[in-house]
Amino acid sequence: MIYVEAGEFIMGSDTDGNFDEQPQRKVYIDGYFIDKFLVTNEQYREFIIATGYPAPYIDRVWAKKYCWKDNCYPDGTRDHPVVLVTWHDAAAYAEWAGKRLPTEAEWEKAARGTEGLTWPWGNEWSKGRSVSTGSGSPQPVGGYEEGRSPFGCYDMAGNVWEWVGDWYQEDYYRIAPSVNPKGPSEGAMRVLRGGSWIHDSASSRCARRYSRRPEYADNYIGFRCAKNS
Protein backbone atom coordinates (compact mmCIF):
# COMPACT_ATOMS: atom_id res chain seq x y z
CA MET A 1 0.00 0.00 0.00
CA ILE A 2 0.99 3.64 -0.48
CA TYR A 3 0.65 6.28 2.21
CA VAL A 4 -1.07 9.51 1.20
CA GLU A 5 -0.29 12.31 3.62
CA ALA A 6 -2.97 14.44 5.23
CA GLY A 7 -3.72 17.73 3.53
CA GLU A 8 -5.72 19.56 0.91
CA PHE A 9 -6.15 18.69 -2.75
CA ILE A 10 -8.24 20.00 -5.63
CA MET A 11 -11.36 17.87 -6.13
CA GLY A 12 -13.90 17.97 -8.94
CA SER A 13 -13.97 19.92 -12.20
CA ASP A 14 -15.73 23.08 -13.35
CA THR A 15 -14.58 22.95 -16.97
CA ASP A 16 -14.16 19.37 -18.23
CA GLY A 17 -16.88 17.47 -16.52
CA ASN A 18 -20.49 16.96 -15.78
CA PHE A 19 -22.78 18.72 -13.33
CA ASP A 20 -22.06 16.12 -10.67
CA GLU A 21 -18.35 17.07 -10.58
CA GLN A 22 -19.08 20.71 -9.70
CA PRO A 23 -18.02 22.85 -8.03
CA GLN A 24 -14.30 22.23 -8.11
CA ARG A 25 -13.01 22.93 -4.62
CA LYS A 26 -10.24 22.33 -2.11
CA VAL A 27 -10.86 19.38 0.17
CA TYR A 28 -8.87 18.33 3.22
CA ILE A 29 -8.58 14.65 4.11
CA ASP A 30 -6.64 12.87 6.81
CA GLY A 31 -3.71 10.65 5.94
CA TYR A 32 -4.52 7.10 4.75
CA PHE A 33 -3.12 4.10 2.92
CA ILE A 34 -4.33 2.97 -0.50
CA ASP A 35 -3.43 -0.03 -2.64
CA LYS A 36 -0.74 0.62 -5.19
CA PHE A 37 -2.45 -1.82 -7.56
CA LEU A 38 -5.94 -3.04 -8.33
CA VAL A 39 -6.96 -6.24 -6.56
CA THR A 40 -5.98 -9.13 -8.83
CA ASN A 41 -7.61 -12.46 -9.58
CA GLU A 42 -4.92 -14.25 -7.59
CA GLN A 43 -5.49 -12.07 -4.53
CA TYR A 44 -9.25 -12.52 -4.79
CA ARG A 45 -8.79 -16.29 -5.06
CA GLU A 46 -7.01 -16.31 -1.72
CA PHE A 47 -10.09 -14.65 -0.26
CA ILE A 48 -12.63 -17.12 -1.67
CA ILE A 49 -10.51 -20.14 -0.74
CA ALA A 50 -10.14 -18.85 2.82
CA THR A 51 -13.78 -17.89 3.32
CA GLY A 52 -15.88 -19.97 0.92
CA TYR A 53 -17.21 -16.77 -0.62
CA PRO A 54 -18.79 -17.32 -4.09
CA ALA A 55 -16.41 -16.93 -7.03
CA PRO A 56 -17.11 -14.30 -9.73
CA TYR A 57 -19.71 -15.66 -12.12
CA ILE A 58 -22.47 -14.23 -14.31
CA ASP A 59 -24.60 -16.60 -16.38
CA ARG A 60 -24.46 -14.61 -19.61
CA VAL A 61 -22.75 -15.32 -22.92
CA TRP A 62 -20.76 -12.06 -22.82
CA ALA A 63 -19.38 -12.93 -19.37
CA LYS A 64 -18.22 -16.46 -20.20
CA LYS A 65 -14.53 -15.60 -20.74
CA TYR A 66 -14.40 -13.84 -17.33
CA CYS A 67 -16.28 -16.39 -15.23
CA TRP A 68 -14.45 -18.52 -12.71
CA LYS A 69 -14.70 -22.33 -12.65
CA ASP A 70 -14.05 -24.52 -9.61
CA ASN A 71 -12.92 -21.47 -7.63
CA CYS A 72 -10.24 -20.62 -10.16
CA TYR A 73 -9.95 -17.64 -12.48
CA PRO A 74 -9.74 -18.03 -16.28
CA ASP A 75 -6.41 -19.26 -17.66
CA GLY A 76 -3.79 -16.58 -18.17
CA THR A 77 -5.46 -13.97 -15.95
CA ARG A 78 -3.63 -14.47 -12.63
CA ASP A 79 -2.41 -10.86 -12.48
CA HIS A 80 -5.44 -9.28 -14.17
CA PRO A 81 -7.81 -7.16 -12.07
CA VAL A 82 -10.67 -9.19 -10.68
CA VAL A 83 -13.95 -8.35 -12.44
CA LEU A 84 -17.59 -9.50 -12.26
CA VAL A 85 -17.63 -8.27 -8.66
CA THR A 86 -20.43 -6.28 -7.05
CA TRP A 87 -19.89 -3.51 -4.52
CA HIS A 88 -20.83 -6.01 -1.83
CA ASP A 89 -18.18 -8.43 -3.09
CA ALA A 90 -15.53 -5.70 -3.03
CA ALA A 91 -16.51 -4.60 0.48
CA ALA A 92 -16.42 -8.21 1.71
CA TYR A 93 -12.92 -8.72 0.33
CA ALA A 94 -11.71 -5.48 1.86
CA GLU A 95 -13.05 -6.43 5.28
CA TRP A 96 -11.41 -9.87 5.06
CA ALA A 97 -8.11 -8.22 4.15
CA GLY A 98 -8.31 -5.88 7.15
CA LYS A 99 -8.94 -2.91 4.90
CA ARG A 100 -11.92 -1.02 3.45
CA LEU A 101 -12.95 0.60 0.20
CA PRO A 102 -11.54 4.12 -0.26
CA THR A 103 -13.83 7.09 -0.02
CA GLU A 104 -14.47 8.95 -3.25
CA ALA A 105 -12.25 11.80 -2.02
CA GLU A 106 -9.41 9.44 -1.05
CA TRP A 107 -9.54 7.77 -4.43
CA GLU A 108 -9.43 11.07 -6.30
CA LYS A 109 -6.55 12.50 -4.28
CA ALA A 110 -4.50 9.34 -4.84
CA ALA A 111 -5.26 9.54 -8.56
CA ARG A 112 -4.57 13.21 -9.34
CA GLY A 113 -2.33 14.45 -6.55
CA THR A 114 -2.78 17.81 -4.88
CA GLU A 115 -2.77 20.02 -7.98
CA GLY A 116 -5.92 18.82 -9.69
CA LEU A 117 -4.39 16.94 -12.65
CA THR A 118 -6.85 15.85 -15.33
CA TRP A 119 -5.30 12.37 -15.62
CA PRO A 120 -2.86 10.75 -13.20
CA TRP A 121 0.16 11.71 -15.30
CA GLY A 122 -0.84 15.25 -16.28
CA ASN A 123 -3.30 17.38 -18.23
CA GLU A 124 -2.74 15.94 -21.71
CA TRP A 125 -4.20 12.61 -22.76
CA SER A 126 -1.77 9.86 -23.78
CA LYS A 127 -3.20 6.50 -24.84
CA GLY A 128 0.12 4.80 -24.18
CA ARG A 129 -0.26 5.41 -20.45
CA SER A 130 -3.61 3.71 -19.95
CA VAL A 131 -5.70 0.61 -20.70
CA SER A 132 -8.61 2.25 -22.50
CA THR A 133 -10.78 1.98 -25.62
CA GLY A 134 -9.45 -0.61 -28.05
CA SER A 135 -7.58 -2.70 -25.49
CA GLY A 136 -9.97 -5.61 -26.00
CA SER A 137 -10.08 -6.72 -22.36
CA PRO A 138 -8.67 -5.87 -18.94
CA GLN A 139 -4.87 -6.07 -18.81
CA PRO A 140 -2.39 -7.13 -16.11
CA VAL A 141 -2.19 -4.60 -13.30
CA GLY A 142 0.76 -2.24 -13.11
CA GLY A 143 1.66 -2.53 -16.77
CA TYR A 144 1.82 1.20 -17.51
CA GLU A 145 4.73 2.69 -15.64
CA GLU A 146 4.27 6.12 -17.22
CA GLY A 147 0.61 6.16 -16.20
CA ARG A 148 1.31 6.21 -12.48
CA SER A 149 -0.33 8.83 -10.31
CA PRO A 150 1.68 11.47 -8.40
CA PHE A 151 1.52 9.20 -5.35
CA GLY A 152 2.68 6.14 -7.31
CA CYS A 153 -0.61 4.29 -7.82
CA TYR A 154 -1.15 2.33 -11.03
CA ASP A 155 -4.18 1.93 -13.32
CA MET A 156 -6.15 4.86 -11.94
CA ALA A 157 -7.10 5.83 -15.49
CA GLY A 158 -8.56 2.93 -17.43
CA ASN A 159 -8.30 -0.85 -17.09
CA VAL A 160 -11.38 -1.23 -14.85
CA TRP A 161 -13.75 1.10 -13.05
CA GLU A 162 -13.23 0.94 -9.30
CA TRP A 163 -15.87 0.66 -6.62
CA VAL A 164 -15.40 3.15 -3.78
CA GLY A 165 -17.20 3.32 -0.47
CA ASP A 166 -19.55 6.25 -1.11
CA TRP A 167 -23.18 6.31 -2.04
CA TYR A 168 -23.75 8.38 -5.19
CA GLN A 169 -25.66 11.67 -5.15
CA GLU A 170 -25.63 13.92 -8.19
CA ASP A 171 -25.42 17.20 -6.29
CA TYR A 172 -23.31 15.97 -3.38
CA TYR A 173 -20.34 18.19 -4.21
CA ARG A 174 -22.51 21.26 -3.68
CA ILE A 175 -23.33 20.32 -0.10
CA ALA A 176 -20.40 18.08 0.91
CA PRO A 177 -18.13 19.06 3.80
CA SER A 178 -14.69 20.33 2.85
CA VAL A 179 -13.04 18.08 5.45
CA ASN A 180 -13.09 14.28 5.09
CA PRO A 181 -16.23 13.94 2.94
CA LYS A 182 -17.56 10.39 3.06
CA GLY A 183 -20.57 10.64 0.78
CA PRO A 184 -24.30 10.66 1.55
CA SER A 185 -25.62 8.48 4.37
CA GLU A 186 -27.82 6.52 1.98
CA GLY A 187 -28.69 6.15 -1.68
CA ALA A 188 -29.58 3.83 -4.54
CA MET A 189 -26.23 3.81 -6.35
CA ARG A 190 -22.60 3.41 -5.33
CA VAL A 191 -19.79 5.43 -6.87
CA LEU A 192 -17.22 4.08 -9.35
CA ARG A 193 -14.08 5.91 -10.42
CA GLY A 194 -11.32 5.68 -13.00
CA GLY A 195 -12.65 4.56 -16.36
CA SER A 196 -12.08 1.20 -18.01
CA TRP A 197 -10.76 -0.77 -20.96
CA ILE A 198 -13.94 -0.20 -22.96
CA HIS A 199 -14.37 3.52 -22.23
CA ASP A 200 -12.77 6.62 -23.72
CA SER A 201 -10.28 9.13 -22.36
CA ALA A 202 -12.96 11.47 -21.01
CA SER A 203 -14.31 8.65 -18.85
CA SER A 204 -10.90 8.06 -17.29
CA ARG A 205 -10.39 11.65 -16.09
CA CYS A 206 -9.57 11.70 -12.38
CA ALA A 207 -12.62 13.83 -11.59
CA ARG A 208 -15.08 11.67 -13.56
CA ARG A 209 -17.87 10.14 -11.49
CA TYR A 210 -19.82 7.05 -12.45
CA SER A 211 -22.41 5.03 -10.57
CA ARG A 212 -24.14 1.67 -10.52
CA ARG A 213 -26.39 -0.20 -8.12
CA PRO A 214 -24.31 -2.01 -5.51
CA GLU A 215 -25.50 -5.42 -6.73
CA TYR A 216 -24.31 -4.70 -10.28
CA ALA A 217 -21.31 -6.53 -11.73
CA ASP A 218 -19.63 -6.41 -15.14
CA ASN A 219 -16.43 -7.20 -17.01
CA TYR A 220 -15.18 -3.64 -16.66
CA ILE A 221 -15.58 -3.19 -12.90
CA GLY A 222 -13.06 -4.04 -10.17
CA PHE A 223 -11.61 -2.30 -7.11
CA ARG A 224 -8.68 -1.48 -4.86
CA CYS A 225 -8.61 -1.09 -1.08
CA ALA A 226 -7.66 1.57 1.44
CA LYS A 227 -6.88 1.61 5.15
CA ASN A 228 -6.75 4.18 7.91
CA SER A 229 -3.30 5.40 8.92
The answer to whether the CB of 208 falls within 8 A of the CB of 80 is: no
- 219 has pLDDT over 80: yes
β-strand pairing of 190-193 with 161-167: antiparallel
pTM above 0.95, yes or no: yes
What is the structure's pLDDT at 128? 87
Contact 39, 93 (CB under 8 A): yes
What's the whole-number mean pLDDT along residues 124-148? 90
Is it the case that residue 28 has pLDDT exceeding 90?
yes
Q: Which residues contact 68 (CB under 8 A, 6 or more apart)?
A: 55, 56, 57, 74
**What's the average model confidence in pLDDT over 179-192?**
97
Work out the mean pLDDT of the chain and round it to a whole number.
96
Residues with Cβ within 8 Å of residue 199, at least 6 apart in sequence: 132, 133, 158, 161, 220
Could you report the per-residue pLDDT of 50-76, keeping only the tens digit for each? 999 999 999 999 999 999 999 999 999
Mean pLDDT, residues 62-91:
97
Choice among 2-6, 101-105, 124-128 with the minimum mean pLDDT: 124-128
pLDDT-derived band at 16 (thresholds 50, 70, 90) equals confident
Q: Is the pLDDT of residue 133 over 90?
A: no
